[in-house]
Amino acid sequence: MIHVVVTLPIHPRRIGAFLALAGDHQEASLAERGCLRFDLLRDLADPCRFLLLEEWRDRAAIREHQRTPHYARWRREVTLYLTAPREHHEYECLDGHTGARIVFTNGCFDLLHAGHLHLLSEARAQGDRLVVGLNSDASVRRLKGPGRPVQTAATRAAVLRGLACVDDVHEFDTEDDLLRLVRRIAPDVLVKGAEYRHTVPPGAEYARRVHFVEVLPGHSTTGLVSRLRLAV
């Protein structure tokens, strides 16, 4: 199984024409037996940036697809819409997704609370194994500011590993580290909180699908830390 990922920066005045062309290309691609998935994601942080995710049966199917007239039209016309060179790569899922369904999520998980447990339980329900990416101490400080994290990465990892719903924990420091981690794991499902629903979550291009979990109201680490400080 081959995953193809293409980043497409489109000129603002050509977005309408691009979406129409992409719709035609999607329909034609999925009509071919070798194309298993075709998704087009828009980055709301940059409305002119699109992420094309394709999944193909094998490389032979991709080569056959590239010989079709609609693919030649797609390559020719999209090139005219670009404001910068496209970024393209492909990778092969070595296990063919024939074994356990792997789920991945990530976060700081500083002071574990009901909101975290809700997210992790929902994530685990999406597959057979849940792998958690854990922000390093330096990463948490950059995100949350001085005084965080309350607990070290080693302690946070130990708490997560003690949960029945978590199968493995991997620490990361930067977003590039996170992307490399997700790419290496190649999860079946990438899970994020619903607050990320209108964005392209980091690592989405390396997962078969993205699942968003509704936030449990009234539960956050920042709020919990504030209440604890007031109680002291």
**Taking residues 174-178, what's their average pLDDT?**
93
- Cis-peptide into 149, omega within 30 deg: yes
pLDDT of 93 strictly over 60: no
**Which two structure tokens, joined as six digits, stand for 213?**
């979990």
Beta-strand relationship, 87-92 and 2-9: antiparallel
**Using one digit for the tens of pLDDT, what is the confidence trace for 191-208?**
999 888 888 888 888 888
pLDDT of residue 227: 58
Domains in the chain: boundaries: 2-92, 102-231
pLDDT of residue 95: 41
| Residue 49 DSSP class | E
Which pTM was predicted?
0.60
Rounded distance, CA 183 to CA 3, Å? Answer: 11
CATH of domain 102-231: 3.40.50.620
**Using one digit for the tens of pLDDT, what is the confidence trace for 125-160?**
998 889 999 999 999 999 988 888 989 999 999 999
CATH of domain 2-92: 3.30.70.100
Question: Which range has the worst mean pLDDT, 24-28, 36-40, 71-75?
Answer: 36-40
Share of the chain above pLDDT 90, in %: 44
Letter string b/e over residues 97-127, b meaning 16 or more CB atoms within 10 A of that residue's CB: eeeeebbbbbbbbbbbbebbebbbebbbebb
Q: Given pLDDT bands bounded at 50, 70 and 90, which one contains residue 190?
A: very high
